[in-house]
Structure 1
Amino acid sequence: MTLASLAARALAPLALSAAVALSAAAPARALDFKNMTPDEKAAFGEEVRAYLLDHPEVLVEAIDRLKAKQAQQQVQNDANLVKANAKAIFEDPNSWVGGNPNGDITLVEFMDYRCGYCHKAYPEVAQLLKTDGNIRFIVKEFPILSDQSVLGSRFAIAVLQLNGPDAYAKAHDALMKMRANITDASLAALAGKLGLDAEAIKARMDSPEVTKVIADNHALAKRLGINGTPTFVLGDQMLRGYVPLAQMTEIVKEVRAN
C-alpha cells in the first residue's frame, strides 16, 4: 500500500477528530454533521485543513497507527488461516520432512529453485536447523517463477517418490546450490552424480503423482494467501519473504515460549 493511500485511509477519522476538537466551543448544532449547512461544512473543512497544515506530525502518527493496526490484523488473519489448514501444512505425507522429525516445533518453507531469496535463505535455514537441533522442517515445492522452477520441482518430487527422503535431501541441496540453468540435460547429469536412475526419474517427472503434489501445494498456497517465495510457516505465524537468521532464531524462541 502506498503512502498516499495510507494517508487517505488515516485522514478521514483524523479529520473528524480534529473537527470535533476544534469545534468544542461551538454550538451543539454545529456538531450535528447531518444538519450542517454547506457554509458550516466548508468552515469545518477549513479548520481541519489549517490544523493539519500546522501540525503535520499528527498525520504521520495516524499513518503509523494505521500500519500497526493493519499488521496486527494480518497476524491474526494468518493465525486463522494456519489453523484452518493445519493438516495440509503440517501433516502432508507427500512433502519431505527434514531437520529433527521429532522436533518440538515445525518450520515449513514454500520455495522455488529459481528464487534468489530462497537461495539466500537456504544456508541460514540449514544453520538454524543444525544449531537448534529440535526443529522439524518441511519443504513445500512451490514452483511459480519459471519453467525451470517447475522442472526442478518435478525432478525433486520424482526423486522423493522413487528413491526416498535421503535421496531427496541430496537432490534438494544440489538444486538449491545450482547456479546453471535447470534443463533436462543438467538434471540427467545431477541424477548420475547422485547415483540415481536418470531415465526412471525423467519418466516419473511427468506422472500424475508428481503433478498432484505441485497442484496441491499451489492450492494450499492460494488458501493461505501465499503468492511469493520464500514463505515460511512457523507455529501459527506466516513469514512472507526472506527472514535473516538472527530474526528467525528470535521467532523460534517466541513460538516456543508461547
Structure 2
Amino acid sequence: MNRLASALTLAATLAAAQPALAFDITAMSDAEREAFGNEVRGYLLAHPEVLVEVINELEQRNAQAQANGDKALIAANAKDIFDDGWSFVAGNPEGDITVVEFLDYRCGYCRKAHGAVSDLITSDGNIRFIVKEYPILGEQSVLASRFAIAARMVAGDEAYAKISAGFYETFRGDVTDAALRNFAEDLGIDAEAVAARMNDPEVTKIIEDNHLLAQRLQISGTPSFVIGDQLLRGYAPLEAMQGIVAEERS
C-alpha cells in the first residue's frame, strides 16, 4: 500500500499546484510522469487481482452495451421479425414469449440446435416459434430453403413442418433435385408441384428479405435467435435458452 499512497500523494500534490486542471497527467514533467507510472506499475504487480476486477467490470459493461444495442435493433425491426406475414409459426401461436430462429439446413450447429429448440417448445408449452429461412452456406443451402418455402406454398404448414424437421432428422447427403424429389415423395408431398414453385419470384423475395433482416440485426451466422428482446448469436444448449426465456418472463 505504500506505493499506492505515494502515487496518490504525488497526484494530490500536482492537483494542489494546478487546481484548475485537477489531476492532469499531461501537465506532469517527464520525471513526474515516470515516477507516477512506476508507482502504478508497482501497485498493480503487488495487487494483480485489481486487473481481474477491471477486466470483469469491462466485460460486464460491454455485455450490457451489446444487450442494449440488441434491444434497439429488435425494436426497430419488430414488424419484420415477429409479423412479416410469411414466416412459419409453430409452438403456441398465443405464447407469451416468441422465439425466432434464423437457420440453414446445411448447418451442423442448426442440426444440433433442432433437438434443443424442439424440447424447449414442447416442455414449455407457452412459446411462439418462428422460422426464418437464412441459407448462407452455399447453393445447396439455397436449394433446400427454396424447396421448404415452395412446399409451404403448395401444401401448407403441415408439409413445411415435416420438411423443416426432416432436413435435420432424416435427410442425408447432398441437396440435389433428385434427392429433394425423393424426400418429398417419402413425406407424401407432391414433388412436381413443389419443384414448379421453387424458382418463383416470391420464394426469392422471402430469402432476400431474410438476408436483409439478418444484416440489420447484425446476424452473420446460423443458428441465431431472437428470444423476446434478446439476440442469441450461435448455438446454445436447452438450459441456456430456458434461462433466457425465464429472464424475459421476469
TM-score w.r.t. structure 1 length?
0.87
Choose the corresponding residue for 1:91, options 77, 83, 91.
83
1:21 matches 2:8 = yes
Letter in 1 for 2:13: A
- Identify if the C-alpha distance between structure 1 residues 32 and 105 changes in structure 2 by more than 3 Å, giving closer, same or farther: closer
Match of 2:144 in 1: 152
- List aligned pairs for 1:64-213, cutoff 5 A: 64-177=56-169, 178-213=171-206
Q: Provide Cα deviations, 1:171-190, integer angstroms capped at 9, x if missing partner.
A: 11111222322221111111
138-147 or 179-188, larger mean C-alpha shift: 179-188
Structure 1's 119 and 19: CA in aligned 2 closer, same or farther, altered over 3 A? farther
Q: Equivalents in 2 of 1:26, 1:187: separation in Å?
A: 79
* Alignment equivalent of 1:237, drawn from 230, 235, 239: 230
User: Is the CA contact 2:185–2:191 (under 8 Å) kept in the aligned structure 1?
Assistant: yes
Residues 26-56 of structure 1 show CA distances to partners (whole Å, capped at 9, x for unaligned) of: 3434833232222222222222222222222
Tell me by how many angstroms 1:191 deviates: 1.2
Note if contact 2:7-2:40 (Cα within 8 Å) is conserved in structure 1.
no
Closer, same or farther: CA 38–115 of 1 in aligned 2, 3 Å: same
Deviation at 1:60, TM superposition (A): 1.8
5+ residue gaps, structure 2, are none
Larger CA deviation: 29-38 vs 43-52: 29-38
TM-score scaled by structure 2?
0.89
- Over 3 Å counting, the alpha-carbon distance change for 1:20 and 1:43 in structure 2 is closer
The residue matched to 2:13 in structure 1 has which SS?
coil
Relative distance call for 1:48 and 1:166 in structure 2 (3 A) is: same
Closer, same or farther: CA 62–100 of 1 in aligned 2, 3 Å:
same
Instruction: Confirm or deny: 8 A CA contact 2:110 2:235 kept in the other structure.
Output: yes
Question: Quick one: structure 1 residues 19 and 106, their matched pair in 2 at CA, closer, same or farther if it must change by over 3 Å?
Answer: farther
Question: Stretches of 4+ moved more than 6 A in 1?
Answer: 17-20
Contact kept in structure 2, 1:102 and 1:134, CA below 8 Å: yes
* Cα gap change, 1:80 to 1:18, in 2 (>3 Å): farther
Return the offset for 1:25. 5.2
The DSSP-based 3-state class of the residue aligned with 1:182 is coil
CA distance, structure 2, for counterparts of residue 111 and residue 237 of structure 1: 17
Deviation at 1:193, TM superposition (A): 1.3
Equivalent position amino acid for 2:247 in 1: E
Residues 179-236 of structure 1: CA distance to partner in whole angstroms, max 9, x if unpaired? 3222211111111112222233223212211110010000000001111111111111
**What do residues 70-124 of structure 1 show as CA deviations (whole Å, max 9, x unaligned)?**
0011111111111111100000111101111122221110111111111111112
Name the SS for the 2:207 alignment partner. Answer: helix
Alignment correspondent of 1:39? 31
**Structure 1 residue 23: Cα displacement:** 2.8
Structure 1: unaligned runs, 5 residues or longer: 1-16
Question: Counterparts of 2:10 and 2:192 in 1: how far apart (Å)?
Answer: 80
Quick one: percent identity of the two aligned structures?
Answer: 56
Question: In terms of mean alpha carbon deviation, does 190-199 or 28-37 score higher?
Answer: 28-37
Structure 1 contact 111–229 (Cα < 8 Å) conserved: yes
